[in-house]
Amino acid sequence: MRTELKRPRGTQDILAPESWRVEQLRRLAFDTARQFGFDPLETPAFEQSAVFLKVGESTDVVQHERYAFTDVGGVSLTLRPEGTAAVARAYVENGLYNAPQPVRLFYWAPMFRRERPQALRYRQHTQFGAEMFGVEDPAADAEVMLLSTRVVSLAGLTDPVIRVNSLGCHQCRPAYRQALVAYYRDREPSICQDCRVRLEQNPLRLLDCKVDVEARAGAPDIADYWCTACRAHLDRLMELVLLAGGIIRRDSRLVRGFDYYSRTVFEVGHPQLGDATALFGGGRYDGLVESLDGPNTPGVGFGIGVERLLSALGGRLPVYSVAGCYVAHQPGYETEAFALAERLRQQGLVCYSDVMGRSLKAQIRDAGRRAGAAVIVGSEAVGPGEVMVRNLATGEQEAMAGDPLAIAAWYNRKFGTNSTAVVR
């Protein structure tokens, strides 16, 4: 069947078995976040545009890549392009600053950016992120870094590398900004057009340029401008991560794409992907909550692009599905088979049944594609009230009473409770 109705450019349909891989990563991320004491949070898919304009008006995501619209009430709304601002808004609106601090929150949600589609850059992508509010101690930075790298390691990319830098604070950053602008002013005729814009709007982003590599290499190092508190913060952070067994090193040219970052910024990669490839990043944003009309509250967090991480993992994250059983039947036993399948589900088993009126031979063939065991109702080789149970991997079979409890017990003996199978 041909149709002109196709998915929007820059989006994707995620089908099995890849959809199972996404679900496995989601469960892994949720379980890991729970181990670190973080609570799940869901925010709306769209926010008032002011939420994002307040925290990042000079960034590409806010300037050029927002899906923004005005509703019938005249309110300007934006589909969520990133998670941190929305979580910070929820922190303020729900009065979480009155709760015991720190507040640890995590999310798994779709993000929307109208950027030029390319490999692993989608106009709708999924992000797993975590944010910690209410503590400025470097232990908070270390904790969110360890949470993020634990997810990556458990998924299959062991020994991820954290690259970290400090953007300074409101006391020491202005002097560095002035030195950086002066350095690039002397080179303005030779730098790219994007950097000329950054020079006026967001000078720190000059260090993020992939074109003017030579200019970036000679730029002043912000470490020469750190105040005592900023230097001590970064030193202590790196000490804690190393103490926990993490791999961390300073990158003097590392910045992040959003305006709200202060002090700590970091990116996580893996040696097999090359030094230039960042899986994801995050950092500290001590002024973000205040910019959203909340109290002066420190915060730190990260966001992982799920699609990018899954691509980097390749086959390292096996795709599992519950093996389950398949209730097949001889002609004339449709009702009995249908009822038995439902009663087996009530015993906690994943259970398939034929709903297409196929022959027993076709049902067994279908069972071989979907399940670990077959339960055959109406087999001529069994007595009244009995069924034939078959291990589809070995072909071993036996007759037994058609009682759901007995069948479930047999299945769990053969396959184990909550047994899984790798989907190839």
Q: Are 37 and 270 in contact (CB under 8 A)?
A: no
Distance CA 36, CA 19 (A): 26
Q: Which CATH architecture has domain 320-422?
A: 3-Layer(aba) Sandwich (3.40)
pTM of this prediction exceeds 0.85: yes
Q: How many CA atoms lie within 13 A of 130 on its CB side?
A: 27
Run of H or E including 278? none
Distance CA 84, CA 105 (A): 10
Write the DSSP symbol of residue 161. E
Report pLDDT for 121: 83
Domain with CATH 3.30.930.10 in the chain: 18-172+226-316
Vertex 318 angle, CA 315 and 320, to 5°: 150
Calculate the alpha carbon distances from 255 to 93, 167, 222, 299, 361 in Å: 29, 7, 11, 17, 62
Report pLDDT for 271: 85
Q: Are 46 and 77 in contact (CB under 8 A)?
A: yes
CATH topology of domain 18-172+226-316: BirA Bifunctional Protein; domain 2 (3.30.930)
Distance CA 318, CA 303 (A): 23
Domain with CATH 3.40.50.800 in the chain: 320-422
Extract the runs of DSSP E, i.e. beta strands, from 242-371: 247-250, 264-269, 280-284, 299-305, 320-322, 325-329, 351-353
Tens digit of each residue's pLDDT, the chain (424 residues):
566 889 999 999 999 889 999 999 999 999 999 999 999 999 999 999 999 988 766 666 666 688 999 999 999 999 999 999 999 999 999 999 999 999 999 999 999 999 887 777 899 999 999 999 999 999 999 999 999 999 999 999 999 999 999 999 989 999 999 999 999 898 888 888 888 888 888 888 888 787 888 888 889 999 999 999 999 999 999 999 999 999 999 999 898 766 678 899 999 999 877 766 789 999 999 999 999 999 999 999 999 999 999 999 988 887 766 679 999 999 999 999 999 999 999 999 999 999 999 999 999 999 999 999 999 999 988 999 999 999 999 999 999 999 999 999 999 998 876 555 544 3
